[in-house]
Amino acid sequence: MATPPDICIRGAGIVGRTLALLLARERLRVALVDAPPQTTGPDVRAYSLNGAAQRLLQDLRCWPDSPAVTPVHQMQVFGDHGGTLTFGAQDQGTSELNWMVDVPVLEARLAAAVQFQPQIEVVPSPVAAPLTVICEGRASQTRAELGVGFDITAYEQHAIATRLRCELPHGGVARQWFTWGQVPGRTESQAEILALLPLGGEGGHEVALVWSVHPLRVPHLMDLSSEDFAQELAQACGLALGRMSLTAERAVWPLQLARASRWIGDMPGTSKQAFALAGDAAHAMHPLAGQGLNVGLADVAELVRVIQAKEFWRPLHDLKLLRRYERARQADVQAMGLVTDGLQRLFAQPGPVWQNLRNWGMRGFDRSGPLKNWMTRHAMGADAPSAH
C-alpha cells in the first residue's frame, strides 16, 4: 500500500469484508488482511439474515440473488410436550421474517466488490494503522496476542450441520424442535434442538440442518450412513417434510456462549494505534435464535456510524471515540446472549414440572400480542438504524 492505511482489518470473512466496503465509502484507506483459509471440513453454512443485515448488504450491492437467498415467511417452534410458537411475516405487515442466505455465494459477492474498490488493498499480513479492527472469528489469534480475555461458557451440546433434499417443499417455513435424544451410556434422555431452515429459493425442497445434540451422541450420528442419518432425522422431526436425503457432508462443532472482556484498547507499545473487536472475535452465542451473523453485522454498522459521527479533530485511535462503539454494542450483545442462553437452559431442564412450565410459557407467549410482536420486530431488525 503506497499510502499508509487509516484502518487495518484482520479477517476477510463476511464481517471483515462488509466493514472494509463501508469504510471505503467514507474515503478511508483500508488494508484488509486475507490469510489463507484453514481447511476445517465441509462448508455447509447458511445464515439467517434479518432486515437490517439485508438493507446493509443491498446498500453495498452485495445481496445475492435467488436461489442463493430464500425468504422465510413463517417460523414454527415446537416444544417437547405440545407447546408451539408461530411467527408469521403477515402478522408484521411484511412478506418475509428474514432470509436464509447461502454463505459461499455471499462471500463471493463481497470478495468481488472488494476487488473493485480502490480504497481497499488486500494484504497477506497485518500492517500498522491508527485503528486495527479484529474480525478473525471466535478463535482469533490476534485477540489472544493482545491479552484480551474471552470468557467462555461451554454448552453440553455440539451442532451437527448439513444440507438435505426433502420429499415435500419447505414452503418458506423455518422449523425448530426442542426435543430429547437418547445418549449412549446415559439412562436419561438429553435435551436437543433441531432446526430445518429453507434453502433453494421459493418453492424449494432443500433445507439446512442444525442439530444441537449432546457430545456423547455425536459419534453415533456422524458414523451413520447418509441414508440412516436421514432416516433418523426424519423420525426426529416427525416426517414434517417427508423423506429426506443428504446432499452434503456433515460438519460438527462445539457450542458456547462467549464474550470478550473488552472490545477496544491501545495496541501494545504505542498510544497512537488502537484496536477494536467485531463479530465472532467479540462474542459467540447459541445458534438457536439464528442471530450470530446479524449481531456481527450490527457491530460493523455501529462502528461505521461512530466513525461517521466523530469530531473532525478526534483521531481514529482515540479510545473515547471507540468507547462509544463498545458501550453501544456490549449492551445489545449481552441482551441477545441472555435470551439465547436462557432459552437453551430452560429447555435443558428435565422433569415434568419444567416441561409443563416451559410449554405453558410457550402457549402464553404465542398469545401475548404486543410482546410477541415487539420481540419479532427486534429479531427481524425492523427498527435497526442503517450505516449511512
Side-chain-facing half-sphere of 278: CA atoms under 13 Å: 33
pLDDT band at 365 (very low <50, low <70, confident <90, very high): very low
59 phi-psi bin (left φ>0, alpha ψ -120 to 50, beta other): alpha
pLDDT band at 360 (very low <50, low <70, confident <90, very high): very low
Q: What was the pLDDT predicted at 353?
A: 46
CATH number of the domain encompassing residue 352? 3.50.50.60
Q: Does 59 fall in a domain?
A: yes
Per-residue HEC secondary structure of 196-237 comes to: EEEECCCCCCEEEEEEEECHHHHHHHHHCCHHHHHHHHHHHC
147-193 tens-digit pLDDT: 999 988 887 889 999 999 999 999 999 998 888 777 777 777 777 88
Q: Does 58 fall in a domain?
A: yes
Q: Does 203 fall in a domain?
A: no
Q: Does 233 fall in a domain?
A: no
Q: What was the pLDDT predicted at 371?
A: 43
Q: Which domain holds residue 121?
A: 7-152+255-380
pLDDT band at 66 (very low <50, low <70, confident <90, very high): confident
Section 251-268 average pLDDT: 90
* Number of domains the chain is built from: 1
Q: Does 163 fall in a domain?
A: no
d(CA 137, CA 256): 13
Q: Does 385 fall in a domain?
A: no
CB atoms within 10 A of CB 265: 16
- In the predicted model, is pLDDT for residue 341 greater than 80? no
Q: What was the pLDDT predicted at 344?
A: 55
104-114 tens-digit pLDDT: 899 999 999 99
Q: What was the pLDDT predicted at 79?
A: 75
Section 289-297 average pLDDT: 81
d(CA 381, CA 360): 27
CB atoms within 10 A of CB 135: 30
The letter for the amino acid at 339 is V
Q: Does 343 fall in a domain?
A: yes
What H or E segment, with its residue span, contains residue 173?
Answer: strand 173-181
Q: Does 96 fall in a domain?
A: yes
Mean pLDDT estimate for the chain: 84
Give the residue, 116 or 342, on which the prediction is more confident. 116
Per-residue HEC secondary structure of 255-302 comes to: EEEEEECCCEEECCCCCCCEEEECHHHCEECCHHHCCHHHHHHHHHHH
